[in-house]
Structure 1
């Protein structure tokens, strides 16, 4: 059995709000969704392991009881201050012994903010979740033509991937879009690869490797249909998962190529709950767009170019 998914949105009754975009507001949102709940929504079941309220730092851990890896992520103010629109940082690790003390960490990323970003959404389980920052001065699913900018809105996945290796000791990671320094493009941006970092499956190597996944439907560049709506047009969605891979000739620490390796395998796993549709559209429609596909509810990620990436809102980790 998989794990049930909960979707938390800033538009929910009783939801905490981003009034000024301060780190403390973000920490309150994370605590509400991960460990306390709000309104009629129960929390995901993560635990708060470390906190320094003075410097706006917290570290959470996913649920071992529900099959999680016990991985950690730290969320903190980039400046240590609690000022409006402060960029916040996110870093994941296999383990932590204290704040800023990471054991087998992966690359950190920045959550960029300004006064147009006042909406948020968290979609997830006790093992992993999507952290989404919404632009609120324009609620269209897309209003731009830039294929690579992260400025429209931001999405990160934090937690365990769905590894294809039963005893994988490095499942907990941060998945982002095309990188630009330590701030990365949204996972929802079209025409970009998605990236994640992992150690060997047996956790026996200190080398972290970059895995990526290429959107299978990025070749659909017919911009004349981007304003269409699949449901109104009677078009069926064909959904493809995102598989995280490295090149087949990459060698592991024993000199075995990834196509044959069990510790640095060519295909590591998939991003939980995320699917690409061959249909790109909805640009002039307003967020949110929730659609039942084959009896399972999905929500469409906003994009600055061509929305077509969906998140399963009912169950992951089957």
Structure 2
């Protein structure tokens, strides 16, 4: 069943703001969008599991009544000082703030720097079961182009994948490009992986039998494991097709898939919700955010990094 998508932005009426880049500010944004709502916007319908002020800790469960797996997004920080990075990850099983299992890689949410380089222009695109979180600096957002350069914005996916297996007991995933670190560079962001490199072995997927055993997985489409075109394509894109993005075990190469030709870790596991790769690049020279209507549906174009032109779009209406 497709779920409606809601888009939340820092410039909405009543939206929470990031001023100093404190962990509590980013967690407040997540809680407002996923659980409480703000202004005239309702929340995505997630619930709070734990919310602790000092040191900052927040865990949020997706909506089981609307088809969610009950997986939990977890955010923590050592203190609430501006510049302290958040440790973020997802888990399928949550017993307490100190006990979880079937977990993703953990990754940072960071303010990056101060002044015009502080990540404060946030965007959440999500449903009752999954969401994308982006947060850019003034420097990136006001550059007049759809690219992040070599700076470090926040970008991640947390929630249920669209499993190709009925009753999959381990649908809840999380990834950002960084793996088990809370300090990263621009080459460890999902924006870099999609527009400069390739998203290979970018996440962990757990077994289909429900046990706490995981293996790396990658993103793959009919265009292969690259999601960009070389060079700067600033003008309009000549898009005639949008292809879904699949989650495949290992490095996604079929010829390397022998370890995943089994019922515990099937090679082709799921579809990444709401994400598509286009057959044509464009709009790199257009100011953020790049939102276009493609075949009657609104899509958001992920920014490119420093070179090349990304071709990844997110559906803004339903997943």
Q: Answer whether TM exceeds 0.5 for this pair.
A: yes
Q: Structure 1 residues 221, 73: closer, same or farther in 2, change over 3 A?
A: closer
Among 183, 191, 198, the alignment partner of 1:193 is 198
- Pairing 1:33–2:39 present: no
8 A contact 2:108–2:181 mirrored in 1: no
Aligned-partner Cα distance in 1 for 2:165–2:295: 28
Aligned residues: 297
Q: Structure 1 residues 123, 203: closer, same or farther in 2, change over 3 A?
A: same
Aligned-partner Cα distance in 1 for 2:89–2:156: 11
SS of 2:216 mapped into structure 1: strand
RMSD across aligned positions (CA): 2.1
8 A contact 1:159–1:172 mirrored in 2: yes
In the other structure, the counterpart of 2:284 is 283
Aligned-partner Cα distance in 1 for 2:21–2:101: 30
Structure 1: where are the runs of 5+ without partners? 252-256
Instruction: Output aligned runs, 1:287-302, within 5 Å.
Output: 287-302=288-303
Offset of residue 193 of structure 1: 2.9
In the other structure, the counterpart of 1:274 is 275
Aligned-partner Cα distance in 1 for 2:62–2:178: 26
SS of 1:86 mapped into structure 2: coil
Instruction: Output aligned runs, 1:192-211, within 5 Å.
Output: 192-194=197-199, 195-204=202-211, 206-211=212-217
SS of 1:244 mapped into structure 2: strand
Q: Identify the range of structure 1 (188-197 vs 267-276) with the bigger mean alpha-carbon deviation.
A: 188-197
In the other structure, the counterpart of 1:229 is 236
TM-score between the two structures when normalised by the length of structure 2: 0.86
Offset of residue 106 of structure 1: 2.0
In the other structure, the counterpart of 1:108 is 106
Offset of residue 221 of structure 1: 4.0
8 A contact 2:62–2:72 mirrored in 1: yes
Instruction: Output aligned runs, 1:57-136, within 5 Å.
Output: 57-77=57-77, 80-113=78-111, 114-115=113-114, 116=117, 117-136=119-138
SS of 1:3 mapped into structure 2: coil
Q: Structure 1 residues 201, 219: closer, same or farther in 2, change over 3 A?
A: closer
Q: Structure 1 residues 50, 219: closer, same or farther in 2, change over 3 A?
A: closer
Offset of residue 138 of structure 1: 3.2
Aligned-partner Cα distance in 2 for 1:7–1:178: 24
Q: Structure 1 residues 295, 200: closer, same or farther in 2, change over 3 A?
A: same
Structure 2: where are the runs of 5+ without partners? none
TM-score between the two structures when normalised by the length of structure 1: 0.87
In the other structure, the counterpart of 2:163 is 163
8 A contact 1:142–1:307 mirrored in 2: no
Q: Deviations over 1:184-229 (max 9, x none)?
A: 733333133332211111213x321111014636386441x52122
Instruction: Output aligned runs, 1:148-187, within 5 Å.
Output: 151-177=151-177, 179=179, 181-182=181-182, 183=184, 185-187=188-190
